Amino acid sequence: MLESTLTPAERNLVKMGEHERLRETRMFFQYASVREFCEPVERLTGRTVRAFISGIDTEVDGLTVETFILYPVGASDPRSRIEDAEP
């Protein structure tokens, strides 16, 4: 969980009342960066990421949650979420 993640441009969107636009934009960028999010988690844990879930509450200064669901240790042939990411 991360707090105060809004950029200056995102704070301006909040001031304009553009919460939905901010959420859509943030989600677009988050899922366009799946590899950049998941690779360090896999490297540091030695586990494979099964799913990546990202969420933001624009009403609370960009409180965000990045959730990584890992395959169990010893899972046979786990497919990394990175493999399904857009290039």
Going from N- to C-terminal start, the domains of the chain cover 8-84
In the structure, what pLDDT confidence band is assigned to residue 58 with cuts at 50, 70 and 90? Answer: very high
Mean pLDDT of all residues in 60-84: 91
What string of H, E and C letters represents the secondary structure of 12-71?
A: HHHHCCCHHHHHHHHHHHHHHCHHHHHHHHHHHHCCCEEEEEEEEECCCCCEEEEEEEEC
Its pTM stands at 0.81
How does residue 16 score in pLDDT terms, banded at 50, 70 and 90?
Answer: very high
> Mean per-residue pLDDT for 37-65?
93
14 CB burial (10 A radius; 0-12, 13-18, 19+): middle
pLDDT at position 35: 93
